[in-house]
Chains A and B, each alone.
Chain A
Amino acid sequence: MSSRRTFLCQSAAAAAMLSSPWIVRAQSAAPVKVGVLHPVTGALAYSGQQCRLGALLAIDDVNQAGGIKSLGGAPLAAILGDAQSRPEAGSAEVEKMNQEGVSAIVGAYASAICLATTQTAAKYGLPHVVDVGVADQIVERGLTNTFRFGPGYRICSERAITDLAALNNAAGKPAKTVMIVHEDSLFGTGTAALLSKSLPQHGFEVVDVLKHPNPTRDFNNIVLRMKSANPDIVIPANYYNEYALLLRAMRQQKVQPKAIYSVLGGAASSYKFVKEFPDIANGIIDCNHWFNPKDARVAPLKARVEGKGAYFSYEVFMTYTSVLLLADALERAKSADRAAIIEALASSTFNEHFMPYGPTHFVNGQNTGAQPLMTQVLDNDIKVIFPADYRQTDAVFPLMT
């Protein structure tokens, strides 16, 4: 796969999407400017570009379906911004977008960037829909302009632990011991601390907690210690590269726990990982952002994303649905005015989406229905195994060895 070609394709597609509304609807209502703000360069570039792809697809879909009908079919016009993987750069982009007169902003993927951009947007009473940003402080600072469609970190980790316990109980409690392997920055350390505190309350013994830096070149030491401790469940809390190296080393050293389980795992529910490492991906479980697998709208969208040479990753569908949420609020607000949009978002009961959240219900800017789903890689695909309402297949647990 040529990334340069992919990039050119995506850029061309983006350009086409951006230009077409004016060509088609030049004579109709004035477009509503929407800030699309993501870290498309720097360390988070891959995720940021995936987010941008999702946003542009959603804007295209809204415009194809006739724009915002309550505004006389006004199309959405994307104002693109690059947060350069730095919070202060994200803030600067919000300032620029404010001057360009955007009605609302959708972004900005990473928690640290979202913390900065929502605050800057609040200065101007500018509505900000947070697409991913799982840190709970984002919606706990009393900012009235900030709305997060997806689940936060606390709900994800609580659900991950109760679901793991439920999974284990249903299988007759085959797993008693757990080993946590985490990267040593905020995400991994925080997850490890939370898990090692709450897992014992559900009857699991945490036999060891091992941390590693980013990047780690070699996971054999960790796997050797794993081999010696022989835990029933291994919980990796790290990013894509280290997750892949860890699992590869486990396979080489023939360490096969009863489950490999992640919370917001770096690669555990990633089509890229499944494609690149089909053998070692098989059976891994993740509790992460995921779509309702029974919704008919998912498959065509996934095909469109793949048609552009990209993976249908959580960044794509989280930002896609966040833009649809904003479009729905514009429809309800019957205005491109910022205060009216904030009011419409706050009272939103948006249900035309494919996430497992039900109709939106915002309390202090958090969509209370938002939840993660538990997925497992089975037969080179990612299947939902928990909870029952969305289950596609039964979990394979414990894993056959």
Chain B
Amino acid sequence: MLDSTILFSSVLNGLTTGAVYALIALGLTLIYGVLHIINFAHGAALMVALYAVYLLKDRLGIDPYAALPLVVAGMFALGYGLQWLVINRAGNGKDENILLVTLGLAIVLENLALVWFKSDTRTIDTSYALSTVAIGPAMIALPKVIAFCGALAVAAILFWVIRSTDLGRAIRAVAHEKQGARLMGIDVEKVYALSFGIGMACLGAAACFLLPAYYVNPQVGSGFVLIAFTIVVLGGMGSFGGALVGGLLIGVVESVGGLFLGDSLGQMGIFAIFIAVLLFRPRGLFGARG
């Protein structure tokens, strides 16, 4: 019963989902690559961004795509402030403290959302929510096509910033050799805060692309963050190219796996690949040696 049309649709659909996964993973991998901490608050921060998009649409009538600059800037400020004022201070430079601080932040954010929004699921209604684009024989939802293009564009901008700007060079320098960078006059604490801010800004963009086809509730982040962790390890910790390719790959594996094995079992494919990569290529697809 599975013909090539369905397979083609499923692959395209997986790519569109995977692009958003990649965007979430890019934020996580940037924070890991520079600060060498795993940000457990990543899922909760995505939830915060989704509520921001929801409130902007619901209260002020701002379309999620028009809200993009606002939400990205807001999430950047939130990330910068969190790193500068909370994580940096509470962590006292110890990695295990920082882990606990981000975990604590996640719990605080999720419970604040429970108090303010209750566990009720919220959606937004847009005029284009049900529109589709025909790509060959496949019908892909318009919000997912926009999410795919948008996520790739944001990733391209991020690549350019990291590769070609002074900020990017500073970030790379701190990521490689913190002490050396400090000796060269780079303000390491500021680069940390900027990196955390940029990582969170990626979530802001992901939220704008996600909500028109999805929903938000206080627990929404946990499902995404597990996949994002998998992508980061799959692509190689701290590797941008790896996060992008890994995200797209996971999206396709999830989609095609679901098609053949059913949606309950299909998610297994993601973790099968994950284990295989750890066994045969422990540094990840694009990870640096050593």
Contact = CB atoms under 8 A, between A and B. Distances in A.
A43 B116 contact: no
Contact of A46 (B118, B132, B264, B266): B118
Interface in A26-52: 42-43, 45-46, 49
B194 to A, nearest CB: 31
Interface residues of B, number: 38
A184 B263 CA distance: 10
A227 B264 CA distance: 20
Contact of B215 (A212, A244, A252): A244
B129 A248 contact: yes
Contact of A244 (B123, B130, B132, B259): B123
Contact of A221 (B10, B121, B132): B10
Contacts of A4: 116-117
A254 B262 contact: no
Interface string A98-133: 000000000000000000000000000000000000
B262 A229 contact: no
Contacts of A225: 1, 6, 259
Nearest to A216: B263
B146 to A, nearest CB: 13
Judged by DSSP, the binding face of A is: helix
A173 interface: no
Contacts of B116: 3-4
Nearest to B224: A217
Interface stretch (A75-83, A89-97, A275-283): A275-283
B229 to A, nearest CB: 16
A240 B118 CA distance: 15
Contacts, number: 94
A253 B139 CA distance: 6
Contact of A184 (B123, B139, B264): B264
Interface residues of A, number: 40
B3 interface: yes
A364 interface: no
Interface in B127-142: 129-132, 139, 141
A224 B215 CA distance: 21
Interface in A211-244: 211-213, 215-218, 220-222, 224-225, 227-229, 240-241, 244
A46 B141 contact: no
Interface in B1-25: 1-3, 6, 9-10, 13, 17
B259 A224 contact: yes
Contacts of B119: 42-43, 45-46
Contacts of A224: 6, 9-10, 259
B120 interface: yes
Nearest to A1: B58
A3 B258 contact: no
Nearest to B132: A252
Nearest to A44: B119
A187 to B, nearest CB: 15
Contacts of B258: 218, 221-222
Given A7-B118, A241-B121, A251 B130 contact: yes
A217 B223 contact: yes
A210 interface: yes
Nearest to A213: B264
A376 B131 CA distance: 25
A277 B125 contact: yes
B97 interface: no
A245 B267 CA distance: 18
Contacts of B121: 240-241
Contacts of A217: 17, 214, 223
A43 B2 CA distance: 37
Interface in A125-146: none
B83 interface: no
Contacts of A244: 123, 215
B255 interface: yes
Interface string A237-275: 000110011001101111000000000000000000000
Contacts of A184: 264
A252 B6 contact: no
A252 B139 contact: yes
Nearest to B254: A218
A276 B120 CA distance: 13
Nearest to A46: B120
Contacts of A253: 132, 139
A37 B118 CA distance: 19
A97 B38 CA distance: 46
B262 A211 contact: yes
Kindly name the residue among B123, B254, B258, B267 whose own CB sees the greatest number of chain A CB atoms within 10 A: B258
A213 B270 CA distance: 15
B130 A279 contact: yes
Q: Residue among A42, A45, A46, A221 with the most chain B CB within 10 A?
A: A221
Contacts of B139: 252-254
Contact of A222 (B214, B217, B263): B263
B259 A218 contact: no
B214 A229 contact: no
Contacts of B118: 3, 7, 45-46, 49
B135 to A, nearest CB: 13
A254 B137 CA distance: 13
Nearest to B131: A252
Nearest to A229: B1
A251 B131 CA distance: 9
Interface in B237-290: 254-255, 258-259, 262-264, 266-267
List the 7 closest pairs (A to B, CB-CB), nearest first: A212-B263, A221-B258, A220-B13, A252-B141, A45-B119, A221-B259, A224-B6
10 contacts: A3-B117, A211-B263, A213-B267, A217-B214, A218-B254, A218-B255, A221-B259, A222-B263, A252-B130, A254-B139
Interface of A: 1, 3-4, 7, 42-43, 45-46, 49, 184, 210-213, 215-218, 220-222, 224-225, 227-229, 240-241, 244-245, 248-249, 251-254, 276-277, 279-280
Given A228-B6, A244-B215, 18 more contacts: A3-B117, A210-B263, A211-B263, A213-B263, A215-B223, A217-B223, A221-B10, A221-B13, A221-B255, A221-B259, A221-B266, A224-B6, A248-B129, A249-B141, A252-B139, A253-B132, A254-B139, A277-B123
